[in-house]
Amino acid sequence: MKKATIIGAGLAGSEAAYQLLKRGFQVRMIEMRPVKSTPAHTTGLFGELVCSNSLRSDDAETNAVGLMHREMRRCDSLIMKCADATTVPAGGALAVNRTDFATRITETLHSFPGFSLDICEAAFPTNPTEPTIIATGPLTSDKMAEQLQAVTQTESLHFFDAIAPIVYTDTVDMSKAWYQSRYDKGDGTDYLNCALSKQEYNDFIDALLDGEKVQFHDWEKETAYFEGCLPVEVMAERGRQTLLFGPMKPVGLSNPHEDGRRPFAVVQLRKENKQGTLMNLVGFQTKLTYGAQKQVFRMIPALAQAEFARLGGIHRNTFVCGPKVLDAKLELKGHPLIRLAGQLTGCEGYIESASIGLLAGLFTALPDLPIPPAETALGAMLRHITVEAEAETFQPMNINFGLFPEVYAFDERGKKIKGSDRKKLYTHRAEQALTDWLHHI
């Protein structure tokens, strides 16, 4: 019987285990809970949801998260099966009874004769003799984190994410924004600039200071990152002009929409992926609530109609720089028997973590399996964390349509198709692409 070891019975580890067990593998799971817990887990159950009980939108027609749900269901995902069996009403979202959900995952894995569990804190497997998947999550134990840091080299492991909001490039108003690098260095398309007048800047600062903020958990307060990566609203609290000397400084820029004049203040957007379909607001990591972020950042004139692929946040997290240290099938470079899975790889979210667990399990069980097509949610997420994302500025990412190859479609008047019609083009294309790929599993 083929064997595999999985470290961490969270969403990713449980999904990977199931994919292996159902393909006849003997799986040894190593999980430290309940003997040793993380700061956020409270039970010894597998697949415990540490915060919200929602797996987000279940709309597979116009939402990338819903599309991911559909694709995972088609791959016979354990997490989706248990979610579907334990739903609670939540409008268009897929919400679950968290205890029933985690109990079901735990019982299903234990029901396989090939499954065994070691309850202990695992160390990094230096010389594994069988395929091993490390899925220890955003709150990986200190010992494992230190060892991963040593193996991947210091700068490739992060202990928090400080995420600036990310917008879809094609929703930026180009009658107000312009491409230019400061002092015209670089190739000129690296940065998209959004100017503010003095009045607009002052109104923006007022809104930033007044906006509702999310509080840190007690166990996050000690995280030593503040000075290196201050939330933008904390910078603004230090003085109304502070941002003019930081992320909003206008030096070295000239606004072609205003006869080449230097703007009073500027917000720079930088490419988040190689395709350039997503851009992040440079230096705008924030603890504003999601609602406040949309309101405040749409006060930047060029972003008045912007759509956000993801909003900003600052959390304790542990993740590697995927594009640097992982190969296309999630193998840790230089360690042929070891794969990483889940949030540790730089995806973010319950369902994204489970999806990367599913792929890690499949790649382990089926060595010849090609990677899923880029047009699918599974393929888009995988490619982002392994090859597409910019390694230098890598931050965790949710699934969103900006990660997919762009759809170019125009209506009869030659105008780009937008909104939900455009999203349907993505999801319908994905459906066919997944069907083709499923023949391999």
Ligand X SMILES: Cc1cc2nc3c(=O)[nH]c(=O)nc-3n(C[C@H](O)[C@H](O)[C@H](O)COP(=O)(O)OP(=O)(O)OC[C@H]3O[C@@H](n4cnc5c(N)ncnc54)[C@H](O)[C@@H]3O)c2cc1C
Angstrom distance (rounded) from CA 160 to CA 139: 10
Kindly tell me which of 137 and 372 has the beta carbon lying closer to ligand X: 137
Rule CB under 6 A: say whether 330 interacts with ligand X: no
Residue 158: phi and psi, rounded to 5, are -120, 150
The SS3 call for residue 77 is coil
Per CB under 6 A, the list member of 67, 75, 133, 144 interacting with ligand X is: 144
Q: Where are the beta strands (DSSP E) in 231-373?
A: 265-271, 278-281, 308-310, 313-320, 331-332, 335-340
> Which residue stretch of 6-14, 191-199, 277-285, 378-386 sits at the interface with ligand X (rule: CB under 6 A)?
6-14
Kindly tell me which of 8 and 322 has the beta carbon lying closer to ligand X: 8
> Which residue stretch of 4-12, 92-100, 234-242, 401-409 sits at the interface with ligand X (rule: CB under 6 A)?
4-12
Rule CB under 6 A: say whether 140 interacts with ligand X: yes
Rule CB under 6 A: say whether 326 interacts with ligand X: no
Secondary structure of 381-406 as H, E, C letters: HHHHHHHHECHHHCCCECCCHHHCCC
Which residues ranging from 78 to 117 are in contact with ligand X (CB under 6 A)?
none
Kindly tell me which of 8 and 231 has the beta carbon lying closer to ligand X: 8
Number of residues binding to ligand X, judged by CB under 6 A: 34
Angstrom distance (rounded) from CA 168 to CA 309: 6
CA dihedral 234→235→238→241, nearest 10 degrees, is -140
* Minimum CB–partner distance for residue 431 and ligand X (Å): 23
Angstrom distance (rounded) from CA 436 to CA 72: 15
What amino acid occupies position 54?
A: S
**Cβ-based neighbour number of residue 155 at 10 Å:** 9
Which tokens belong to 65?
Answer: 């998260």
Residue 328: phi and psi, rounded to 5, are -65, -20
Rule CB under 6 A: say whether 381 interacts with ligand X: no
> Which residue stretch of 28-36, 186-194, 360-368, 429-437 sits at the interface with ligand X (rule: CB under 6 A)?
28-36
Per CB under 6 A, the list member of 77, 108, 132, 141 interacting with ligand X is: 141
Which tokens belong to 425?
Answer: 């083009």
Rule CB under 6 A: say whether 314 interacts with ligand X: no
Rule CB under 6 A: say whether 122 interacts with ligand X: yes
Secondary structure tally for the chain: helices H, strands E: 12, 17
Query: CA nearest 122: which of 151, 142, 152?
Result: 142
* Minimum CB–partner distance for residue 144 and ligand X (Å): 4
Taking CB under 6 A as the rule, which mask of x and - marks residues 344-373 in contact with ligand X?
A: x---xxx--x--------------------
Rule CB under 6 A: say whether 9 interacts with ligand X: yes
The SS3 call for residue 378 is helix
Per CB under 6 A, the list member of 4, 6, 12, 338 interacting with ligand X is: 12
Query: CA nearest 91: which of 65, 59, 60?
Result: 59
Per CB under 6 A, the list member of 60, 72, 75, 135 interacting with ligand X is: 135
* Minimum CB–partner distance for residue 335 and ligand X (Å): 16
Burial class (CB in 10 A: 0-12, 13-18, 19+), 266: buried
Kindly tell me which of 278 and 320 has the beta carbon lying closer to ligand X: 320
Per CB under 6 A, the list member of 4, 21, 30, 434 interacting with ligand X is: 30
Taking CB under 6 A as the rule, which mask of x and - marks residues 50-69 in contact with ligand X?
A: xxx-----------------
Query: CA nearest 362: which of 339, 343, 344?
Result: 339
Per CB under 6 A, the list member of 16, 21, 25, 41 interacting with ligand X is: 41
Rule CB under 6 A: say whether 136 interacts with ligand X: yes
* Minimum CB–partner distance for residue 55 and ligand X (Å): 7
Contacts to ligand X by CB under 6 A: 7-13, 30-33, 38, 40-41, 50-52, 121-122, 135-141, 144, 342-344, 348-350, 353
